[in-house]
């Protein structure tokens, strides 16, 4: 019988055990082993059954057991110590409190998903896990973040397999009362409610749940409230489900509702208001529109509000894959932001302009969330050095006239939260541990993984319909002494789950090699609407089902954080073979590295930046060089080449290194152990998320907070007015003439430049006239990397024809082919950089202007 209503009965803890409730409701337990041990001690069976979830343990433990623990002095002492430790963690000054400078009072961090623990399954993959790691590291550093997201009633799906290997999706009901969440309530106790107006007079209402991530509150909006009509109730039903209108409503709730939730939270708790809003990918971009509306209510025009909002907004782009970018039909957006929809005070035409793809090849009919993200944020970044440069190329069309290198998108390489992702055994390693000790540790972790794999594989086969009697072979799956390679991630096509199957014979030889076998553990979920991805999974499952190889290759369904924590620690090698450069960063390999697992990867994302032969192997790539599509034949050829390189590396380098047990008869793979040690000691310290969060604070949050403070309404109004004036006047700005007086073309000499520019209605104070000089290639392009930009000084004007003279010396500080040009840029102290407005004037490209375009000296 199906229940018509569900609720949960909260446990009443005896007085001495009260602190257990606080410990369970602060997710710091998820990265604090002592607290987890405490909950395991409360009820070892309940702990196992709940998958390690303190709230569930407390919900299920018997009153008798609680009474017993109340009388257990040893337990009470441990409890008191854990409670004290949490209190100290939450109140002590940390890095942020000691940092110099005027730091932001608070930063709101918006993300469509957050992966904090398996007990709060609100993530689908890397983006969400990164957001979780960002909050945890912020908490460890004492950075005053407020996380903002949605509470999905079914989370992402749980993955199973049919008998023939087809992905099956299940959507469990998640009851917030059984999760580490509390409803945000107003003073009188009534739940805080956020409301959005939808077309046709509908209302979308949401409650706000709060999770505590150490020191950081995470607010999750939930549309599953009684007063909503069924359609609106289902807005937060599942992560990345539904059609585009459903997605739009989710993103409106996240962005607009999220700002309203933050305001309510700050009002109720006295938390300082955020000075910076950070949007993790474009999905939350509407938060900027809500803040424009707020300022509009206080009298600011759209343009003024836009400047004020941009100053305090940071946008992080996460993907160079077009399918990863949210694009909506313009008409759909227009309907939801028109007079009949949300933000009635905000001009819908201005809203639409923000999301318009104005670059060549852009589609006039769509509203692009990443484009809006870039226009609403004065500061933007990609997530690895390579991805930063790919993003600058990809979005260069929004800054016409600028070289990609000057596109104002920087990069902060992702990091991972070390306490979450490092095995206890690895954290406990002592500095002087010898080779034998290190190898023993790797064997222990591999052994644990083998046990876990057998357990999961058994469950999977039972669910696929096999009877226990058929499954005796599972006891022989994987060998704790065999080189173990892991590959687990979402299954979009660029990640190439099945590259390893390209030549099945060669793969089989590797798996069944008589003396140097390799074993593979594979996992990953395909998006429910992605049948192509599901076919790849099926291909892999069918291969792994073959009795000839099934003891050496397994596919484990339902990849998630709990499984990931075992995989990264237990594997010897972490494999990643994306189509370069489509993996923006990738973080699983970093988590593996924290545990001394070596990486075997295409040089993409973070591995392009930090690869060293001491840390693993680089799979050579036939990379075409950019995210632009290649022909299907090229793609096939590339897959063939890269797969062949992968087999070759495994057979000729990875396996021999692993199985070479030394001449001295120590039985130890000395070279391998040396690489493990290098990975732990030199790569390990680079990957943690606290390094990443510190970079965000120093390079993005602090400048954004300062810009935000500088732009009070009056200043913002002046800046908006100035920008409008400059934009209108720009078509009449021109470089009329360039003269060079060249004394000697020798190293150390100088050119004297004299430039005449027309500024139309602008004044010299509105612009900067620059010489750009550097090495030139065969086509006379100045190389980005070593270009110097020298401001020229106004020396006279206006002449009768209205033009102005600029002068300056250009030092010849390098030998070889050298060239220069000049350009005019808007200049204002409140611009974050020269390209901000996307306006630049260069000398005309005519033959007689040859001189103006640069003197060449060879
Ligand atoms: C780290 C992690 C990811 C992201 O890994 P990538 O290397 O970026 O693909 C995905 N899922 C889970 C469960 C993770 O822990």
Q: How far is the CA of 197 from the centre of ligand 1 (A)?
A: 36
Residue 223 Cβ inside 6 Å of ligand 1? The answer reads: no
Residue 332: pLDDT over 80: yes
Residue 407: pLDDT over 80: yes
Residues with Cβ within 8 Å of residue 733, at least 6 apart in sequence:
757, 758, 759, 760, 762, 767, 824, 841
Q: What is the structure's pLDDT at 846? A: 56
* CA pair distance 507, 500, nearest whole angstrom: 7
Task: Tell which atom from ligand 1 comes closest to the C-alpha of 565.
Answer: 15
Query: Within 176-322, where are the H helices?
Result: 230-233, 244-252, 258-269, 287-297, 302-311
pLDDT digits (tens, 9 = 90+) for 516-553: 999 999 999 999 999 999 999 999 999 999 999 999 99
Closest C-alpha to ligand 1, atom 1? 588
Residue 117 Cβ inside 6 Å of ligand 1? The answer reads: no
Res. 853 pLDDT band, cuts 50 70 90: very low
Q: What is the mean pLDDT of residues 289-303?
A: 97
The neighbouring-strand residues paired with 222 are: 207
Q: How far is CA 776 from the centre of its chain?
A: 36
Phi and psi torsions of 9, nearest 5°: -90, 120
pLDDT digits (tens, 9 = 90+) for 606-647: 999 999 999 999 999 987 655 556 788 888 999 999 999 999
pLDDT digits (tens, 9 = 90+) for 40-63: 999 999 999 999 999 999 999 999
Q: What is the mean pLDDT of the chain?
A: 94
Nearest 10 degrees: Cα torsion 203, 209, 213, 214: 130
Residue 564 Cβ inside 6 Å of ligand 1? The answer reads: yes
Are 740 and 792 within 8 A, CB to CB?
no
Closest C-alpha to ligand 1, atom 8? 586
> Reading across the β-sheet that carries 483-488, which strands appear in turn?
553-556, 518-523, 483-488, 573-576, 598-602, 616-619
Q: What is the structure's pLDDT at 309? A: 98
Q: What is the mean pLDDT of residues 333-347?
A: 92
Residue 161: pLDDT over 60: yes
Q: What is the structure's pLDDT at 849? A: 41
Q: What is the structure's pLDDT at 362? A: 92
Residue 149 Cβ inside 6 Å of ligand 1? The answer reads: no
Asked if omega into 798 is within 30° of 0 (cis), the reply is yes
Residue 489 Cβ inside 6 Å of ligand 1? The answer reads: yes
pLDDT digits (tens, 9 = 90+) for 255-269: 999 999 999 999 999
Res. 817 pLDDT band, cuts 50 70 90: confident
Residue 687 Cβ inside 6 Å of ligand 1? The answer reads: no
Distance linking the first and last C-alpha atoms of the chain: 87
pLDDT digits (tens, 9 = 90+) for 661-715: 977 667 899 999 999 999 999 999 999 999 999 999 999 999 999 999 999 999 9
* CA pair distance 171, 41, nearest whole angstrom: 31
Q: What is the structure's pLDDT at 8? A: 66
pLDDT digits (tens, 9 = 90+) for 345-404: 999 999 999 999 998 889 999 999 999 999 999 999 999 999 999 999 999 999 999 999
Q: What percent of the chain has pLDDT over 70?
A: 97
* CA pair distance 827, 409, nearest whole angstrom: 19
Residue 95: burial class (beta carbons within 10 Å; 0-12, 13-18, 19+)? middle
CATH ID of 729-857, from 3.30.70, 2.60.40, 3.40.210, 2.40.50: 2.60.40
Candidates 118, 125, 592: which one to mutate for ligand 1, based on the most atoms within 8 Å of Cβ? 125
* CA pair distance 55, 190, nearest whole angstrom: 23
* CA pair distance 532, 555, nearest whole angstrom: 17
* CA pair distance 239, 157, nearest whole angstrom: 8
pLDDT digits (tens, 9 = 90+) for 186-232: 988 999 999 999 999 999 999 999 999 999 999 999 999 999 999 99
* CA pair distance 807, 2, nearest whole angstrom: 83
Could you give the angle at the alpha carbon of 120 between the alpha carbons of 117 and 124, nearest 5°?
A: 80
* CA pair distance 358, 211, nearest whole angstrom: 40
Residue 368 Cβ inside 6 Å of ligand 1? The answer reads: no
- Which tokens hold the place of 445? 């972790």
Phi and psi torsions of 388, nearest 5°: -60, -45
Q: What is the mean pLDDT of residues 27-35?
A: 97
- Which tokens hold the place of 88? 């100290």
Q: What is the structure's pLDDT at 747? A: 77
Q: How far is the CA of 54 from the centre of ligand 1 (A)?
A: 24
Task: Tell which atom from ligand 1 comes closest to the C-alpha of 126.
Answer: 4
Res. 851 pLDDT band, cuts 50 70 90: very low
Candidates 588, 590, 594: which one to mutate for ligand 1, based on the most atoms within 8 Å of Cβ? 588
* CA pair distance 319, 585, nearest whole angstrom: 9
Candidates 129, 320, 415: which one to mutate for ligand 1, based on the most atoms within 8 Å of Cβ? 129
How much of the chain is in helix, strand and coil states, percent to nearest 5?
Answer: 45, 20, 35
Residue 588 Cβ inside 6 Å of ligand 1? The answer reads: yes
Query: Within 412-478, where are the H helices?
Result: 418-421, 424-427, 435-463
* CA pair distance 359, 370, nearest whole angstrom: 13
Q: What is the structure's pLDDT at 856? A: 36
- Which tokens hold the place of 835? 């390209």
Assign a CATH topology to domain 104-411: Rossmann fold (3.40.50)
Q: How far is the CA of 682 from the centre of ligand 1 (A)?
A: 22
Q: How far is the CA of 587 from the centre of ligand 1 (A)?
A: 6
Res. 743 pLDDT band, cuts 50 70 90: low
Residue 126 Cβ inside 6 Å of ligand 1? The answer reads: yes
Residue 479: pLDDT over 50: yes
Closest C-alpha to ligand 1, atom 6? 586
The reply to whether 104-411 and 729-857 are identical in fold is no
Helix (H) or strand (E) holding 131: helix 126-141
Neighbours of 624 (CB within 10 A): 16
Residue 855: pLDDT over 70: no
Neighbours of 663 (CB within 10 A): 7
Q: What is the mean pLDDT of residues 242-258?
A: 96
Residue 415 Cβ inside 6 Å of ligand 1? The answer reads: no
Neighbours of 504 (CB within 10 A): 12
CATH ID of 429-443+483-547+554-685, from 3.40.50.300, 3.40.50.720, 3.40.50.2000, 3.40.50.1000: 3.40.50.2000
Residue 586 Cβ inside 6 Å of ligand 1? The answer reads: yes
Q: How far is the CA of 136 from the centre of ligand 1 (A)?
A: 16
pLDDT digits (tens, 9 = 90+) for 59-116: 999 999 999 999 999 999 999 999 999 999 999 999 999 999 899 999 999 999 999 9
- Name the residue ranges covered by the structural domains of the chain: 15-91, 104-411, 429-443+483-547+554-685, 729-857
Residue 491 Cβ inside 6 Å of ligand 1? The answer reads: no
Task: Tell which atom from ligand 1 comes closest to the C-alpha of 568.
Answer: 15
Are 702 and 101 within 8 A, CB to CB?
yes
Q: How far is the CA of 67 from the centre of ligand 1 (A)?
A: 41
Q: How far is the CA of 569 from the centre of ligand 1 (A)?
A: 14
- 774-783 CB contacts, 8 Å cutoff, 24+ apart: 774/818, 774/819, 774/820, 775/814, 775/816, 775/817, 775/818, 775/819, 776/817, 776/818, 776/819, 776/854, 776/856, 777/817, 780/819, 780/853, 780/854, 780/856, 782/819, 782/820, 782/821, 782/854
* CA pair distance 689, 201, nearest whole angstrom: 44
The number of residues in the chain equals 858
Residue 523 Cβ inside 6 Å of ligand 1? The answer reads: no
The neighbouring-strand residues paired with 823 are: 770
* CA pair distance 409, 317, nearest whole angstrom: 9
């Amino acid at each position: 019988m199906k229940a018509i209503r569900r609720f949960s009965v909260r446990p009443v803890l005896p007085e001495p055990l009260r602190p257990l409730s606080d410990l369970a409701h602060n997710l710091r337990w998820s990265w604090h082993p002592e607290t987890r041990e405490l909950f395991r001690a409360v009820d070892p069976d309940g702990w196992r059954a709940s998958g390690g979830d303190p709230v569930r343990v407390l919900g299920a433990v018997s009153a008798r057991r609680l009474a017993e623990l109340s009388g257990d002095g040893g337990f009470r002492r441990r409890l008191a110590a854990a409670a004290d430790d949490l209190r100290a963690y939450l109140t002590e000054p940390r890095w942020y409190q000691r940092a110099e400078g005027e730091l932001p009072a608070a930063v709101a961090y918006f993300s469509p998903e957050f992966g904090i623990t398996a007990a709060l399954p609100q993530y689908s993959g890397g983006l969400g896990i990164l957001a979780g790691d960002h909050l945890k590291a912020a908490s460890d550093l004492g950075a005053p973040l407020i996380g903002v997201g949605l509470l999905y009633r079914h989370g992402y799906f749980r993955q199973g397999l049919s008998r023939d290997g087809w992905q099956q999706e299940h959507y469990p009901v998640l009851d917030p009362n059984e999760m580490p969440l509390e409803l945000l309530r107003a003073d009188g106790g009534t739940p805080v409610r956020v409301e959005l107006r939808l077309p046709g007079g509908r209302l979308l209402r949401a409650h706000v749940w709060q999770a505590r991530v150490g020191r950081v509150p995470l607010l999750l909006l939930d549309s599953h409230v009684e007063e909503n009509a069924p359609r609106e109730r289902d807005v937060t039903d599942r992560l990345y489900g539904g059609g585009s209108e459903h997605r739009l409503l989710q993103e409106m709730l996240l962005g607009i509702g999220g700002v309203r939730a933050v305001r309510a939270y700050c009002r109720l708790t006295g938390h300082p208001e955020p000075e910076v809003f950070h949007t993790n990918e474009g999905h939350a971009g509407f938060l900027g529109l809500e803040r424009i509306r707020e300022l509009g209510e206080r009298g600011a025009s759209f343009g003024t509000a836009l400047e004020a909002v941009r100053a305090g907004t940071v946008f992080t782009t996460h993907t160079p894959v077009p399918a990863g970018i949210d694009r909506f039909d313009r008409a759909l957006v227009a309907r939801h932001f028109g007079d009949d929809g949300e933000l009635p005070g905000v001009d819908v035409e201005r809203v639409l302009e923000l999301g318009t793809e104005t670059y060549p090849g852009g589609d006039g009919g769509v509203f692009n969330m990443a484009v809006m993200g870039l226009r609403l944020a004065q500061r933007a970044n990609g997530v690895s050095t390579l991805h930063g440069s790919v993003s600058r190329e990809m979005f260069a069309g929004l800054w016409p006239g600028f070289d990609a290198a000057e596109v104002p998108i920087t990069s902060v390489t992702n990091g991972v939260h070390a306490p979450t992702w490092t095995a206890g055994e690895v954290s406990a390693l002592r500095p002087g541990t010898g080779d034998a000790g290190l190898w023993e540790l790797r064997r222990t972790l591999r052994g644990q993984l083998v046990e876990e794999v057998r357990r999961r594989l058994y469950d999977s086969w039972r669910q696929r319909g096999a009877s226990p009697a058929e499954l005796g072979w599972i006891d022989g799956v994987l060998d704790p002494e065999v080189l173990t390679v892991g590959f687990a991630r979402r299954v979009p096509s660029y990640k190439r789950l099945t590259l390893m199957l390209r030549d099945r014979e060669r793969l089989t030889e590797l798996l069944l090699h008589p003396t140097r076998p390799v074993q593979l553990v594979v996992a990953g979920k395909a998006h429910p609407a992605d049948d192509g991805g599901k076919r790849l999974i099926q291909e892999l499952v069918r291969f792994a089902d073959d009795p000839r190889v099934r003891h050496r290759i397994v596919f484990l369904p339902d990849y998630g954080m709990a499984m990931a924590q075992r995989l990264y620690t237990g594997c010897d090698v972490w494999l990643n073979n994306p189509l370069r450069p489509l993996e923006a960063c990738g973080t699983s390999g970093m988590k593996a590295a924290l545990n001394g697992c070596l990486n075997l990867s295409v040089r993409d994302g973070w591995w392009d930046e930090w690869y060293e032969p001491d840390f693993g192997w680089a799979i050579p790539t036939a990379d075409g060089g950019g995210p632009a599509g290649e022909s299907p034949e090229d793609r096939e050829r590339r897959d063939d080449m890269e797969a062949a390189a992968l087999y070759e590396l495994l057979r000729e380098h990875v396996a021999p290194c692993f199985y070479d047990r030394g001449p001295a008869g120590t039985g130890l793979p000395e070279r391998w152990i040396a690489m493990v040690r290098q990975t732990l000691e030199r790569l390990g310290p680079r990957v943690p998320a606290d390094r990443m969060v510190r970079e965000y604070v120093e390079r993005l949050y602090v400048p954004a907070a300062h810009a935000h403070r500088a732009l009070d309404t009056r200043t913002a109004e002046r800046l908006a007015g100035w920008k409008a004036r400059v934009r209108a006047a720009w078509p009449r700005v021109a470089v009329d003439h360039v003269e060079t007086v060249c004394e000697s073309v020798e190293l150390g000499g100088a050119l004297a430049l004299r430039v005449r520019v027309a500024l139309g209605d602008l004044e010299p104070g509105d612009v900067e006239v620059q010489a750009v000089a550097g090495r030139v290639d065969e086509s006379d392009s100045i190389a980005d990397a070593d270009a110097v930009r020298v401001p020229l000084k106004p020396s006279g004007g206006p002449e009768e024809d209205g033009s102005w003279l600029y002068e300056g010396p250009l030092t010849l500080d390098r030998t070889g082919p050298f060239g220069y040009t000049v350009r005019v840029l808007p200049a204002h102290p409140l611009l974050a950089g020269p390209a901000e407005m996307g306006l630049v004037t260069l000398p005309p490209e005519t033959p007689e202007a040859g001189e103006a375009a640069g003197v060449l000296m060879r």
